[in-house]
A and B are shown apart, each in its own frame.
Chain A
Amino acid sequence: MALVRVISSDGAAFLVSQRLAKRSGKLKTEIETFRKSSDNSEAQPEIRIVTIRAEILRLVLQWLQQHQNDPVLPANQNEQDGRGDAEMGQSQWDRDFLAPMDLGIVMELILAANHLEVKGLLDITCKLVESKITGRTVDEIRTAFKLKSDFKGNEEEQTRLENRWCVEN
Chain B
Amino acid sequence: MELDQVGVQTVVEDDDKTQIPFLPVEMLTEILSYITSDGRKDLLNCRLVNKQWKSVTDKCTESRFVAGPIGPFPELCKCKIQSRLQDVDNVTDIIPFNGLSVAAVYRICKSNPRCNEEEDSRIISLVPGLLRQVGAHLTSFALASLKFDFLDMPALLNLTPLLKLLKLSNLSITTNMTTLELELPALPELPNFVQLHFSGDYAKYLDPEGISNLLYTWVVISYSDQIVSLKMETREAMPPLSPSRDYIMTVAERVFIIGRTSNIAFAKLDDLKIDLPSREFLLHSITPKLKRLTIYYLNEKSPPDITHVAKFIDSNANTLEKISLDIPWDAMVGDIVSLPQFIEESMHPTSKVILPHVTLLNMHYPSPKDMKILATTILVKFPALCTLSLREFNDENPPNMTVEQYFSGVSELSPPLWVLDEAWLEREVLLSSFHHFVSSMFPDLTMQEAVVMKMSKELKFWDTCKKLQRITFTLDAPNPRFVIARASTAAD
Contact = CB atoms under 8 A, between A and B. Distances in A.
A163 B44 contact: yes
A156 B47 CA distance: 9
Contacts of B65: 166
Interface string B41-53: 1101111111101
B8 A54 contact: yes
B5 A129 contact: no
B430 interface: no
Interface string B1-41: 01111111101100001111101101100111111100111
A109 to B, nearest CB: 10
A43 B424 CA distance: 105
A34 interface: no
A118 B34 CA distance: 16
Nearest to B36: A83
A73 B179 CA distance: 50
A153 interface: yes
Nearest to B65: A166
Given A146-B19, A147-B50, A15 B30 contact: no
Interface of A: 5, 10-17, 20, 53-55, 58, 61-62, 65, 68, 79, 83, 102-104, 107-108, 110-111, 114, 122, 126-127, 129-130, 133-138, 141-142, 145-151, 153-169
Interface residues of B, number: 59
A79 B51 CA distance: 25
Nearest to A110: B27
Interface string B121-144: 000010011011000000000000
A86 B179 CA distance: 44
B217 to A, nearest CB: 18
Given A53-B11, A55-B11, A167-B40, A136 B45 contact: yes
A126 B154 CA distance: 32
Given A151-B50, A157-B151, A165-B132, 12 more contacts: A10-B11, A11-B9, A12-B8, A12-B11, A65-B3, A130-B35, A138-B45, A141-B46, A158-B151, A161-B152, A162-B47, A165-B158
Contacts of A147: 20, 49-50, 53
Given A107-B23, A166-B40, A14 B45 contact: no
A127 B39 CA distance: 13
A149 to B, nearest CB: 5
A168 B129 contact: yes
B155 A165 contact: yes
B149 interface: yes
A61 B18 CA distance: 22
A120 to B, nearest CB: 14
Interface of B: 2-9, 11-12, 17-21, 23-24, 26-27, 30-36, 39-42, 44-51, 53-54, 65-66, 125, 128-129, 131-132, 149, 151-152, 154-156, 158-159, 179, 182-183, 185
| In the complex, the 9 A-B pairs of residues with the closest C-beta atoms, listed nearest first | A165-B155, A165-B128, A130-B34, A162-B155, A12-B8, A15-B4, A163-B44, A154-B182, A138-B48
Contacts of A126: 30-31, 34
A79 B182 CA distance: 41
A133 B43 CA distance: 9
Contact of B47 (A54, A103, A159): A159
Nearest to A155: B185
A103 B20 CA distance: 7
21 contacts: A14-B5, A16-B3, A17-B2, A54-B9, A79-B34, A83-B34, A102-B18, A111-B24, A114-B30, A127-B34, A133-B32, A141-B45, A153-B183, A161-B152, A161-B155, A162-B154, A164-B155, A165-B131, A166-B44, A166-B132, A167-B44
B146 to A, nearest CB: 14
A1 to B, nearest CB: 8
Nearest to B156: A165
A61 B40 CA distance: 35
